[in-house]
Amino acid sequence: MTHKLLLLPGDGIGPEVMAEAEKTLRALKEIGIASFETERDLVGGCAYDAHKVAITEDAMRRAEEADAVLFGAVGGPKWDKVGYDVRPEAGLLRLRKDLGLFANIRPAICYPALADASSLKREVVEGLDIVILRELTGGVYFGEPKEIVTLENGDKRAVDTQVYTTPEIERIARVAFELARKRRNKVTSSDKRNVMKSGVLWTNTVNALHQAEYADVKLEHQLADALGMQLVRWPKQFDVIVTDNLFGDMLSDVAAMLTGSLGMLPSASLGAEDKKSKKRKALYEPVHGSAPDIAGKGLANPIAMIGSLAMCLRYSFGLGEAADALEKAVANVLASGLRTKDIAAPGANAIGTTGMGDAVVTELRRTLK
């Protein structure tokens, strides 16, 4: 079976880290794990330079047709002044919206070898392995009305609308329960039901689905503010955290800091399951941006991008064992002491982007031999 991937490297360090993902794909193919067919296209600032849009209709069509999209990063100071609708991020938002990618999965894993890179104490983060599941296409970022109006007395008033429907909550909760069943079987649902109606509906809907279909999974609820506190106090108490778009945005960044470096964090955004093919539209991307400060210098850490590829193998291609092997290869390379600059101790020797990619691929070949 051949898996079809659309590669969208984007801007800044995007193409540099994508090259290491492609290297990994070639190795997986050579080892005989699976066969991949890749296409590539432009997104973000480079698409604007070539076509005056953040993503072309042709690239969107390819994304729709692919089994999965692998995305690097977009943006940079060069495009700070371009029009709002064609700014680099518009390409990513269009992909999320048109592909219906409502479930954003961000694992926060703290490799023992990197526990000292976190701002928290080693014992709090060492061996951490949790997932934050954020609803990505609803809530206050999209609800209408969304406006700034001038009142009769000249004052201004801004309105954003937090809105969720039962099906929107149900489908993200379903992903959370399914994920938990493959992990440590625990879901923590988070909202602000003490002060928000959307939080009341969120809690009730998650409870109803739990009772009807997922009673075997342990479910608990935590208010979003308390959960923020618990995340830095004792994060290992969690397995899968499911929350809305706004709280997920913030809590996933808090979780990011637990692991030490932005260059380490992969993510997956999934759409609804097609009833016939059982496939989901999916986009995989590192959490970090285009890092203009280090772009072109060969310094970027490719692990977030390679980790995103591992998630793609697991969630889109059903290659769970290959995904495990790839993640293990990364852990082994880190345990051997190799570091890119962002995760190296001050003054310690560091390797570059290709050096890290080569080390992971060599280790992968060794484990899968």
Query: What amino acid positions are annotated as catalytic residues?
Result: 141, 192, 225, 249, 253
- Secondary structure string (H, E, C) spanning 285-350: EECCCCCCCCCCCCCCCCHHHHHHHHHHHHHCCCCHHHHHHHHHHHHHHHHCCCCEHHHCCCCCCC
Provide φ and ψ at 320, rounded to 5°. -60, -40
> How many residues form the binding site for ligand NAD (CB under 6 A)?
21
Residue closer to ligand NAD by CB (options 188, 290) is 290
Which residue carries 């909760």 as its tokens? 173
Quickly count helices (H) and strands (E) in the chain: 12, 12
> Minimum distance between the CB of residue 155 and ligand NAD, rounded to whole angstroms?
32
Which residue from 46, 59, 63, 92 is in contact with ligand NAD, where contact means CB under 6 A? 92
What binding mask, one character per residue, do residues 203-242 give for ligand NAD by CB under 6 A, x or -?
----------------------------------------
Q: b/e string for 171-208 if b means 16 or more Cβ within 10 A?
A: bbbbbbbebbeeeeebbbbbbbbeebebbebbbebbee
**Phi, psi of 171, deg, nearest 5:** -70, -30
Residue selected from 290, 308, 316, 332 as contacting ligand NAD according to rule CB under 6 A: 290
Options 9, 15, 75, 199; binder of ligand NAD; rule CB under 6 A: 75
Task: Give 72 or 199: the residue with its C-beta nearer to ligand NAD.
Answer: 72
Positive or negative CA dihedral for 252, 15, 91, 46?
Answer: positive
Q: How many CB atoms lie within 10 A of CB 249?
A: 16
> Shortest Cβ distance from residue 295 to ligand NAD (Å)?
8
Other Cβ atoms closer than 10 A to 296: 11
Residue 298 CB, nearest distance to ligand NAD (Å)? 11
Q: Which is nearer to ligand NAD, 73 or 115 (CB)?
A: 73
How near is the Cβ of 326 to ligand NAD at its closest, in Å?
A: 17
Please, what is the minimum distance in Å from the beta carbon of residue 56 to ligand NAD? 17
Question: Applying CB under 6 A, which of residues 66, 110, 114, 300 lies at the interface with ligand NAD?
Answer: 300
What is the C-alpha separation between 214 and 232, in angstroms, rounded?
Answer: 28
Integer Cα distance of 325 and 320 in angstroms: 9
Q: Which is nearer to ligand NAD, 199 or 263 (CB)?
A: 263
CA distance 148 to 289: 29
> From residue 250 to residue 289, what is the string marking binding to ligand NAD with x (rule CB under 6 A)?
------------xx---------------------x--xx
CB of 182 to ligand NAD, least distance (A): 26
Q: Which two tokens stand for residue 200?
A: 């009341």
| Secondary structure (H, E, C), 200-212 | HHHHHHHHHHHHH
- Residue of 25, 169, 291, 329 that binds ligand NAD (CB under 6 A): 291
- Lookup: tokens for 289: 């941006």
The least distance separating ligand NAD from the CB of residue 154, rounded to whole angstroms, comes to 34
CA–CA separation, 302 vs 300, rounded Å? 6
Interface with ligand NAD, residue 357, by CB under 6 A: no
Name the residue nearer to ligand NAD (CB basis): 130 or 304.
304
Residues in touch with ligand NAD (CB under 6 A): 13, 17, 73-76, 92, 262-263, 285, 288-294, 300-301, 304, 342
